[in-house]
Structure 1
Amino acid sequence: MNDLSASPATAALAPAEPSSWRDWLSVYSVALGAFAFVTTEYLPVGVLPQIANSLSITDGVAGLMVTVPGMVAAVSAPAIMLGAGRMDRRHLLLLLTLLLVASNVVSALAPSLPVMLLGRGLLGVALGGFWAVAIAAAGRLVSESKAAKATALIFAGITLATVFGVPFGTFVSTLFSWRISFAVTAGLALLALTAQWLTLPSLPSRGGLQVRALLAFLSRSNARRSMLLLGTVVAAHFTAYTYIAPFLGHDAGFSPGAITAILLGFGLVGMLANFAMAGSITTHLRASLGAVVLLMVIAQLVLPGLQGWGVTLAVLVWGVAYGAIPLGVSSWMQLTSPHLPEASSAMLVTTFQVAIASGSLFGGLMVDHAGVSSALWLGAGIGVLGLAVMLSFGLGKAPIAEALQR
């Protein structure tokens, strides 16, 4: 998830003294944790057909591996923010990363779908909690002047995982098996846990999300409408993308090696688009977000009718579109309620995870009943709904923050 943002209070919590090399090692340990979390979350997408075949289930049912952690994370994100209380954030991060290790081990050894979903459920608990505390903690690990750089490093871990997580799983699975993919990711998570245990200082709680802030956020109609915008756009992506490997293999006829290369290309162009469009997202949010959502919808609509290089090109166009979408929707959410940043952040995580879960669930139902292409068409339809929600905010040139608060 390269769509989260640090709380404005982060800088105020940073230590005043200059940052030491040990401080930066602690930041890198959290960034490594972010990389491991996102890699684990997206790993099944690249190996979904192999897991489905091994566990004797359909591709659509296998999509529950994406649905379950999303559903659990949607609940655990605000729950952990509300319930962590005075717990030292160092201990909380270590516990959540340990759960990540356990999740990968259970998934690697799973003899059946229920055991696999248990492992993925553990991921959901850890994932929601991690995003609830990690970004804000990063700013406390270094001096105030370096807080933004520390947070950017966490985003780098997320971005790299978004680029390499899915093709990594596909590549390792091609060489060995999907179980080895989870085992290697468990090792990555264990490395992150060790690094955090060695480098993270004590991070005493200094306040947190309050129930009244969440209720105040949810009471605003523009906030609820913005959550709907975020949810529809992200669900449009995951309704189809969760089943991209079956489409590329079964429908388009690509080999496992070609699928790995295409998915790597998807991630790489997405990463470039994320950086390239940062300026336009900031200055022309409505137009930029609308353009990339429309681009995604077009790519999903035309993919079933293409073959060969046409499929590859359409997938890369989709990658460009989605590369800019998380930044766009998260910027929109931040501007919805600038005076309630903690509540906005919590609901951002929750809505994003609900969208992942619901998109992969309904996409899976379509795959099993009407074929993989139907999931692409459903994703495009949900994307059109997202565009309609965006149009409900108007087409004026006023900044989103002003338009939303009228």
Structure 2
Amino acid sequence: MMMENSHPVGDPLNEARNPSPMRAWLAVGSVTVGAFAFVTTEFLPVGLLPQVAQEFGVTPGTAGLMVTIPGVMAAISAPGMMLGAGRVDRRYILLILSVLLLTSNLISAFAPNFAVMLIGRAILGASLGGFWTLALAAAGRLVQPREAARATAMILAGVTFATVIGVPFGTFIASLASWRASFIATGILVTVAMVAQAILVPSLPSKAALRIADLFALLHRTHSRRSLIMVAFIFGAHFSSYTFIAPFLLQYADFSTESITWVLLGFGAIGFVSNFAVSATVTRNLKASLAAMVLMLMISLLMMPALRHSAPTVVAIVLAWGIAFGAIPLCLSLWIQKSTADLPEAGSALFVGIIQVAIAVGSSLGGRVVDRLGIPADFELGAVLALVGLAMLGSFLTRQRTLAQLLPREKGLEPDRTAAKAYK
């Protein structure tokens, strides 16, 4: 989710791109629908894992590759897309990525075997990483600069909404027809978003390109490296387990397919609420907020296998898990933004990339554990990863250092006092 330089107030290019407020907000809406479609497609297999595994004759752990492979591809394309795009009009890139997303859904829907399914998921990953490097950047450029925050919030609402109903949507469609129908329905949604973007999104010329030197500059900083590793462990804890939540509820907790849909809907809905609730307090004490959510995630993962025979308790644990993960992406995003305030584009690119690596490695490692030891053992693995992430968070100084302390000292240069104050 990389941020590019927005045109300033009064920039004629910005004014030309916004002939009317209505058209500008409709353009933002088209990107929001695209964000919803991307996130829904990404996590659709989570709710469909048992059905897909059964039809293709593979184990649930192997079926988890449907989440792993897109993560690997997205980790590569997140920084790679912008490094290779140069100054190509971002409107064309958004449309190309939408075409790739539609292709992915169609291949997945009509895949004759599991190998073809994975090809479709790989295409998703290639488009996914690129999309997140552009989506939020486009938000600030489609409207006037003073409205950029509202536009960004609108696109993020599309992402959050997808986490609320995306997976339950897929399982609901599958319960009515088949898992293939879920991919077809998502493909229709992608088509709507793509047509809307083609009509409404104006030209978005790039004024600057991401430099590979910026990425290495951040990776050379101890604080940035440790922060990214912490992000990897925390996201890995979630996705190594969440990938297999549907088969766990089906096989170990004796939930029906229909009840799993409602449980996952509850997971997403309470996560949606948690995201907004924590946003009101996270700026006052970021470290404490993040620690509380990671601790809740760890406890939830430990309790799920132990208390799986009580359906009401399992539902309560899933909801607690939803509260934790509903807030974790926001907390980690703010953590990275504040620690890379002088290089926001590079910071965002690395953040998106490391998340995708965590999704890929976490789900892959989780799949191996599931096939060899079972899903309860996989949840215990997730708890261990969360504990490592929590320990890394605790290793940071209790009193957060300012950005001026994080930046390498250069002779003749004064630290940016404004940025340093923002980091506190």
Tell me the TM-score normalized by structure 2.
0.92
| Deviation of 1:395 (Å) | 2.2
Q: Describe the superposition over 1:355-378 as per-residue Cα deviations: whole angstroms up to 9, x where unpaired.
A: 111110011111100111111000
Equivalent AA in structure 1 for residue 342 of structure 2: H
| Deviation of 1:10 (Å) | 2.8
Work out which of the residue numbers 321, 339, 360 in structure 1 matches 2:363: 360
Q: Aligned partners of 1:305, 1:204: CA distance in 2, in Å?
A: 55
Tell me, yes or no, if the aligned pair for 1:393 and 1:403 is still in contact at 8 Å: no
Give the 5 Å matches for 1:1-400.
Answer: 4=1, 6-7=3-4, 9-10=5-6, 12=8, 15-16=14-15, 19-306=20-307, 307-396=310-399, 398=400
- CA 401–383 in structure 1, closer or farther in 2 if over 3 Å, else same: farther
Q: Aligned partners of 1:378, 1:240: CA distance in 2, in Å?
A: 8
Q: Aligned partners of 1:391, 1:19: CA distance in 2, in Å?
A: 49
- CA 63–195 in structure 1, closer or farther in 2 if over 3 Å, else same: same
Tell me the TM-score normalized by structure 1.
0.96
Equivalent AA in structure 1 for residue 232 of structure 2: G
More deviation, 251-260/147-156: 147-156
Aligned residues: 401
More deviation, 12-21/385-394: 12-21
Tell me, yes or no, if the aligned pair for 1:270 and 1:320 is still in contact at 8 Å: yes
* CA RMSD, 1 decimal: 1.5
| Deviation of 1:402 (Å) | 6.6
More deviation, 33-42/272-281: 272-281
Q: Aligned partners of 1:323, 1:5: CA distance in 2, in Å?
A: 21
Identity %: 50
Q: Aligned partners of 2:113, 2:252: CA distance in 1, in Å?
A: 27
**1:281 aligns to what SS in structure 2?**
coil
More deviation, 54-63/333-342: 333-342
Q: Describe the superposition over 1:243-272 as per-residue Cα deviations: whole angstroms up to 9, x where unpaired.
A: 000000000000011100000000000010
Tell me, yes or no, if the aligned pair for 1:74 and 1:353 is still in contact at 8 Å: yes
Q: Describe the superposition over 1:99-118 as per-residue Cα deviations: whole angstroms up to 9, x where unpaired.
A: 00000000001111110010
| Runs of 4+ that moved beyond 4 A | 4-7, 16-19, 399-406
Q: Aligned partners of 2:331, 2:290: CA distance in 1, in Å?
A: 6
| Deviation of 1:280 (Å) | 1.9
Q: Describe the superposition over 1:191-222 as per-residue Cα deviations: whole angstroms up to 9, x where unpaired.
A: 11111111111111211211111111111111
Tell me, yes or no, if the aligned pair for 1:88 and 1:204 is still in contact at 8 Å: yes
Q: Describe the superposition over 1:310-358 as per-residue Cα deviations: whole angstroms up to 9, x where unpaired.
A: 1000000000010000001111111112101000010010001001111
Gaps of 5+ in 1: none
Tell me, yes or no, if the aligned pair for 1:227 and 1:351 is still in contact at 8 Å: yes
Tell me, yes or no, if the aligned pair for 1:99 and 1:123 is still in contact at 8 Å: yes
Tell me, yes or no, if the aligned pair for 2:67 and 2:360 is still in contact at 8 Å: yes
Equivalent AA in structure 2 for residue 108 of structure 1: A
Equivalent AA in structure 1 for residue 306 of structure 2: G
Tell me, yes or no, if the aligned pair for 2:48 and 2:179 is still in contact at 8 Å: yes
**2:280 aligns to what SS in structure 1?**
helix
Q: Describe the superposition over 1:52-104 as per-residue Cα deviations: whole angstroms up to 9, x where unpaired.
A: 00110000000000000000000001011101012111111000000000000
**2:207 aligns to what SS in structure 1?**
coil
**1:272 aligns to what SS in structure 2?**
helix
Equivalent AA in structure 1 for residue 386 of structure 2: G
| Deviation of 1:5 (Å) | 6.6
Q: Aligned partners of 1:69, 1:292: CA distance in 2, in Å?
A: 26
Q: Aligned partners of 2:126, 2:303: CA distance in 1, in Å?
A: 37
Q: Aligned partners of 2:324, 2:405: CA distance in 1, in Å?
A: 25
More deviation, 376-385/9-18: 9-18
Q: Aligned partners of 1:124, 1:259: CA distance in 2, in Å?
A: 26
Equivalent AA in structure 2 for residue 15 of structure 1: N
| Deviation of 1:47 (Å) | 0.7
- CA 276–336 in structure 1, closer or farther in 2 if over 3 Å, else same: same
Tell me, yes or no, if the aligned pair for 1:31 and 1:153 is still in contact at 8 Å: yes
